[in-house]
């Protein structure tokens, strides 16, 4: 398991796709998995949509549950041979701990570190549905609050490889 962390607009999705292709890993984005739940039109999807559209985080047990099911599918299909890259997860320390209990510890964690003004400029240029000004500010705020403890957790675990945007 490889984890790719980074703020909204850090480029973690783009770089994760490139890394997974380069190394033959299966690639799961929690943002994409959650948007698929929304598209499926279930009641859970409706709840998730309300949170994403306000820039809030989806509750930890829901995210970990959706992710765990997707990991199982990949393993069952025999597509985990070169590892699995998870992009956009974990967003909270509780998610990190829950994941270790439910799935296991990651081998490598990559953090795309970028200052908020860079993230703000990139998100403004991207224009996804949840890239409006107020929602961007909420996502940046939660990223600033939650990410340092996640990064520290993996730094202490000795699995962190960082990269600072220039």
Which spans of this chain sit near ligand ADP (rule: CB under 6 A)?
8-9, 29-31, 34, 51-52, 55-58, 63, 88-91, 95, 139
Quick one: how far is CA 159 from the chain centroid?
Answer: 17
Given the complex with ligand ADP, which of 25 and 52 has the nearer CB atom? 52
The nearest distance, CB 89 to ligand ADP, in angstroms, is 4
Given the complex with ligand ADP, which of 89 and 111 has the nearer CB atom? 89
The nearest distance, CB 90 to ligand ADP, in angstroms, is 6
Given the complex with ligand ADP, which of 11 and 160 has the nearer CB atom? 11
- List the one residue out of 21, 16, 19 whose CA is nearest residue 31: 16
The nearest distance, CB 17 to ligand ADP, in angstroms, is 12
The nearest distance, CB 44 to ligand ADP, in angstroms, is 13
Given the complex with ligand ADP, which of 81 and 104 has the nearer CB atom? 104
The nearest distance, CB 155 to ligand ADP, in angstroms, is 19
64 contacts: CB under 8 Å, gap ≥ 6: 95, 98, 99, 102
Closest residue to ligand ADP, Cβ-based? 31
CA distances (Å), origin 8, targets 112, 128, 136, 139, 154? 10, 11, 8, 7, 20
Cβ atoms of 112 and 12 closer than 8 Å: yes
**DSSP one-letter string for 135-166:** HHHHHHHHHHHHHHHHHHHHHHHT-EEEEE--
**Helical packing angle, 133-157 and 116-126, nearest 10°:** 130
Given the complex with ligand ADP, which of 25 and 114 has the nearer CB atom? 114
């Amino acid at each position: 398991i490889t984890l790719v962390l980074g703020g909204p607009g850090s480029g973690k999705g783009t770089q994760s796709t490139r890394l997974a292709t380069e190394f033959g890993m299966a690639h799961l984005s929690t943002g994409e998995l959650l948007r698929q739940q929304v598209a499926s039109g279930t009641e859970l999807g409706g709840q998730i949509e309300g949170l994403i559209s306000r820039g809030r985080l989806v509750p930890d047990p829901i995210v970990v549950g959706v992710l765990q099911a997707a990991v199982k599918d990949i393993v069952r299909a025999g597509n985990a041979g070169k590892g699995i890259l998870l992009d956009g997860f974990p967003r909270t320390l509780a998610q990190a701990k829950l994941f270790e209990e439910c799935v296991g510890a990651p081998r490598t964690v990559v953090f795309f570190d970028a200052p908020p003004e860079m993230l703000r400029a990139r998100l403004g240029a991207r224009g996804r549905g949840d890239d409006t000004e107020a929602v961007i500010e909420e996502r940046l705020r939660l990223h600033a609050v939650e990410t340092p403890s996640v990064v520290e957790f993996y730094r202490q675990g000795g699995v962190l490889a960082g990269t600072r945007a220039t």
